[in-house]
Structure 1
Amino acid sequence: MLESACALIALAVALLLRPWRQLASRRPLVTQESGDASGLWTPLLATLVVLPWMWALPTLHQMPLQLQWSGACLVLLMLGWPLAVLTLLAVGGIAWLLSPSLTPWATLSLTVWHGLVPATLALGWGALLRRFLGTKVFVYIFGRGFFGTVLCLFIAGLLAQAGGEQLPGVQQELGKIARWLMAWGDAVVTGMMVSVFVAYRPQWLATWSDDLYLYQQKKRGEK
């Protein structure tokens, strides 16, 4: 019931914000100088192709430790919260189709605790960073991309464990350590991808703005 309520509330709020307008708009986003389509189509489609396999992977093979990949914080940084919610729900549905071992309830739990919850926590963490540390490139890459991923995924993992979710092959008393290590693995990839996107593909990050993080800092330096 808890997972169902979380998913329905997140879906309802996301639909009220109408995130599809980001994709339907023919106006370039952020630093994209030309082109008719939104720059978010590429990360959206890449997420729908790659992430379902990562979510379904632990149930597609037999290993002593079936560690679960999330990727939710990276999806949040690329698509923004409303569109990330719809995308993560779709990822969960595709993962369920890919893995015959995933039951509907297991898929719902996976989508909530490894997708919606960390993405929502990452949204709040980003707001706190902007409020107290300002808009700096280092804060965005390290604070949101790296450290924020560790923090949000670990907290989401603790909430999942408190809600009764157990990691296959991991003893209950070692669950916190396993979730902490998994969060670091996710954070390394997320931080690396965010730094690359900031440098070469900023249009793939809905939460990034050159005007906010670069030009504003340049104007302050000139003053």
Structure 2
Amino acid sequence: MVLELALTVLAVAAALAVRPWRMLRGPLLSPTLAALAVLPWLWLLPQKLPAGMAVQFSGASLLVLMLGWPLAVPVLLGVAALVWLLGQAPLQAVLSQWVWVGLVPATLALAIGWALRRWLPPNVFIYTLGRGFLGTAVALFASGALYEGIHHLMGGVTLHEALVARWLMAWGDAFLTGLVAAVFVAFAPQWLATWSDERYLRPPPKA
């Protein structure tokens, strides 16, 4: 819990330092409110399922694409607060969920997005497939693997099959994120803070 509290304080302080609420003055207010209305119920799903069926949808990578990391972090924290208020899980469990389902995947998605922008050409398929689909799968699986590894080192019971489950759940998140990102690129690009028509749709330079 100490590690998770430290990550929370560090990430929230870094996000708020750039005053992300300024982005709410534009078109990002609608997706922000939609995330706060919908995502808590998806995060509450593991509490409603039978014991042993810890199916979890993150949505963190999609929020990074839509809102950018600085705004996605406090929104995800708000989602976790609503999960704590509406659900029956103790605060420690909700804090762990916020860190490993929200914060860490969002931060990894940011790093993957930076790497793709740095080393691959600006292309709409790089954005939708790279950041939306494959990047989400990698971020979610890596976060789940870190969680399993850390809890194993701290004395928790970890089965080898847990990584397989993490891998499969990551692809479910990746499919939905890639699909929504592609739809928004086509019909509502103003809801994607990380999208730029000038960057991704400009014609290639002439030889």
Runs of 4+ displaced beyond 2 Å: 60-64, 220-223
Q: Distance in 1 between matches of 2:52 and 2:20?
A: 40
The answer on whether the counterparts of 1:145 and 1:190 sit within 8 Å (CA) in structure 2 is yes
1:30-84: CA deviation from partner (whole Å, max 9, x where unpaired): xxxxxxxx11111101100111011111112325422111111001100000000
RMSD, matched Cα = 1.5
Residue 110 (structure 1) aligned with residue 97 (structure 2): yes
Matched-pair contact (CA < 8 Å) for 2:45–2:55: no
Superposed counterparts of 1:6-17, under 5 Å: 6-17=7-18
Q: Secondary structure at 1:163's aligned position in 2? A: helix
| Structure-1 residue corresponding to 2:60 | 72
Q: How many residues align?
A: 202
Q: Secondary structure at the match of 2:19?
A: coil
State the Cα distance separating 1:221 from its structure 2 match.
Answer: 4.6
The one-letter code matched in structure 2 to 1:174 is E
Tell me the TM-score normalized by structure 2: 0.93
Aligned to 2:31: 43
Q: Which amino acid aligns with 2:22?
A: R
Q: Which residues of 2 match residues 31-180 of structure 1 at below 5 A?
A: 38-62=26-50, 64-100=52-88, 102-164=89-151, 172-180=159-167
- Superposition TM-score, scaled by structure 1 size: 0.87
What's the % identity of the aligned pairs?
A: 51
Following superposition, the deviation at residue 222 of structure 1 comes to 5.5
Structure 1 segments unaligned to the other structure (5+ residues): 25-37
Gaps of 5+ in 2: none
C-alpha deviations, 1:103-156, integer Å up to 9, x for none?
101000000000000000010101100111021111000000000000000000
Task: State the one-letter code of the partner of 2:112.
Answer: W
Equivalent residue number for residue 20 of structure 2? 19
Matched with 2:169 is 182
